[in-house]
């Protein structure tokens, strides 16, 4: 029997899922990424270091800030350029804004319709006006963080080598602070809503990988931590992580010595649970979420915990910035004669590496980007393989729905990799 589900929707990017079964048994299960390859690493070759971040941001609209920051940090490390503390704070604030907006988009626009059995959030406009309005308000505030700090929500314009080329007005930051505080009741309502859903049960042992927590929750630290106990500097990622090509996928996949691993909200939460803000810890219990939990469907809960955590962090960071002033937002752009380096950042979907090599004149010779979704693909596939047999007794429509929900729970963002999920059930 063959079931075809064209265009898996409500995910970022294009993918198909092909499953073959014979006499009630699964013979193969492959997640095919069909996103068009865009060859960024090659297009960066020969570009001046001052242009690299602007170009590479276009890998992905949803995580353009993460790509921008990873790129700037890599270039700065390679060319010995210092970034003042105030600029680092602004960069954190920018990251919080991106993670919160991306998580809210996933939770409300992509995942929530599954739990209401509706094709899109906008179909709830008549019935649940307040819910839709709340989703938009929350997302608006998160985007405002990116706008105030980055100049616009997508593809920031104020970020540059050494820090920032423009600073937000103190008055703007104060206003933003008010907006964030005004949004707290909306966050409470969101927690209540997501606590009321019934999440499918599923558990598979897995390794998780993230930036290691320093004195804060994992974000921009240059040390990588695995749930298996290893801890290593981002610069040696190539010794630890192997990228490989599969004949089904235009995205490169990744594995380490133990095989597949998971990155993203659940990985960060597992490693950084002690660093959660007080409010986020309470949300964790309100959602009945085990921070060491292994049910990928509960990635949604982990995302919501992070929304709360990063909102609180944003408030603190704004206070810090207002207190210390923003007089030093840009370090001296005096590059060394060439060099190479790697930097890691936590993008909304997980660990992101950029690695560059520059010639003596500051032109890029080689680039490598390892993106979160590519690292998660093998783990998604392993989940699907284990989950499928458990689902086979269900009617076909439900099997498909469950599988789509699982894939969406990872919030795959395939624009990065190289788009539409199509499920083929043979």
**For binding to another protein (CB under 8 A), which residues are involved?**
7, 9-13, 34, 36-43, 45, 51, 54-55, 58-62, 64, 105, 109-110, 113, 119-122, 125, 132-133, 136-137, 139-140, 143, 151-158, 160, 164-166, 245, 247-250, 252, 415, 419-420
Structure tokens at 363: 């032109």
What does residue 185 show for φ and ψ, rounded to 5 degrees?
A: -60, -35
Cα angle at 246 between 244 and 250, to 5 degrees? Answer: 95
Q: Answer with the entry of ligand SF4, another protein, none that 244 interacts with (C-beta below 5 to 8 A by kind).
A: none
The packing angle between helices 129-150 and 85-104, to 10°, is: 160
Q: Contact between 61 and ligand SF4 (CB under 6 A)? A: yes
* Residue number, 61 or 331, with CB nearest to ligand SF4: 61
Dihedral angle over CA of 387, 389, 392, 394, nearest 10: -40
Cα angle at 285 between 281 and 288, to 5 degrees? Answer: 140
CB of 212 to another protein, least distance (A): 29
CB of 55 to ligand SF4, least distance (A): 10
Q: Contact between 151 and ligand SF4 (CB under 6 A)? A: no
> Residue 376's closest CA among 249, 219, 192?
249
* Residue number, 65 or 254, with CB nearest to ligand SF4: 65
* Residue number, 283 or 423, with CB nearest to another protein: 423
Find out whether 61 and 154 touch, Cβ atoms under 8 Å: yes
- Answer left, alpha or beta for residue 353, where phi above 0 means left and psi between -120 and 50 means alpha: beta
Q: Answer with the entry of ligand SF4, another protein, none that 248 interacts with (C-beta below 5 to 8 A by kind).
A: another protein
CB of 71 to another protein, least distance (A): 14
User: With 0-12 CB in 10 A as exposed, 13-18 as middle and 19+ as buried, what is 316?
Assistant: middle
* Residue number, 110 or 180, with CB nearest to another protein: 110
From CA 102, how far away is CA 97, in angstroms rounded? 8
Q: Contact between 58 and ligand SF4 (CB under 6 A)? A: yes
CB of 405 to another protein, least distance (A): 12
* Residue number, 97 or 183, with CB nearest to ligand SF4: 97
Q: Which residues bind ligand SF4 (CB under 6 A)?
A: 58, 61
């Amino acid at each position: 029997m063959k079931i075809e589900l064209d265009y898996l929707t409500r995910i970022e990017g294009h993918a198909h899922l092909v499953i073959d079964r014979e006499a009630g048994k699964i013979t193969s299960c492959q997640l095919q990424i069909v996103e068009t390859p865009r060859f960024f690493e090659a297009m960066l070759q020969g570009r001046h270091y001052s242009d690299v971040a602007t170009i590479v941001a276009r890998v992905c609209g949803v995580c353009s800030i993460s790509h921008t920051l990873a790129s700037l940090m890599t270039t700065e490390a390679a060319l010995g350029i210092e970034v003042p503390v105030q600029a680092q704070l602004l960069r954190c604030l920018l990251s919080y804004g991106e993670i919160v907006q991306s998580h809210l988009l996933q939770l409300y626009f992509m995942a929530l319709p599954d739990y209401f059995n509706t094709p899109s959030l906008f179909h709830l406009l008549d019935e649940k006006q307040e819910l839709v309005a709340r989703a938009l308000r929350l997302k608006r505030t998160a985007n405002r963080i990116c706008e105030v700090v980055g100049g616009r929500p997508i593809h920031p314009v104020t970020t540059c080598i050494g820090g920032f080329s423009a600073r937000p007005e103190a008055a703007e930051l104060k206003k933003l602070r008010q907006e964030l505080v005004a949004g707290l009741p909306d966050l409470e309502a969101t927690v209540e809503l997501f606590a009321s859903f019934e999440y499918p049960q599923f558990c598979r042992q897995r390794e998780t990988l993230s930036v290691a927590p320093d004195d804060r929750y994992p974000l921009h630290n240059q040390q990588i931590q695995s749930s298996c106990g290893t801890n290593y500097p981002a610069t040696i990622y190539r010794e630890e992580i192997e990228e490989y090509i599969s004949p089904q996928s235009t995205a490169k996949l990744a594995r380490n010595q133990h095989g597949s691993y998971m990155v993203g909200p659940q990985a960060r939460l597992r490693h950084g649970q002690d660093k959660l803000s007080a409010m986020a810890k309470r949300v964790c219990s309100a959602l009945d979420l085990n921070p060491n939990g292994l049910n990928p469907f509960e990635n949604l809960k982990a995302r919501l915990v992070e929304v709360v955590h990063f909102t609180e962090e944003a408030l603190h960071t704004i206070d810090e910035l207002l207190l210390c002033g923003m007089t030093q937002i840009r370090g001296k752009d005096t590059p060394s004669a060439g060099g190479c380096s790697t930097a890691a950042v936590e993008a909304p979907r997980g660990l992101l590496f950029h690695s560059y090599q520059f010639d003596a004149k500051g032109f890029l010779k080689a680039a490598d980007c390892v993106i979160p979704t590519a690292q998660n693909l093998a783990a998604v596939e392993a989940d699907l393989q284990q989950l499928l047999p458990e689902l086979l007794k269900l009617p076909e429509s439900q099997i498909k729905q469950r599988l789509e929900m699982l894939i969406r729970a990872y919030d795959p963002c395939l624009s990065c990799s190289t788009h539409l999920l199509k499920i083929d059930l043979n």
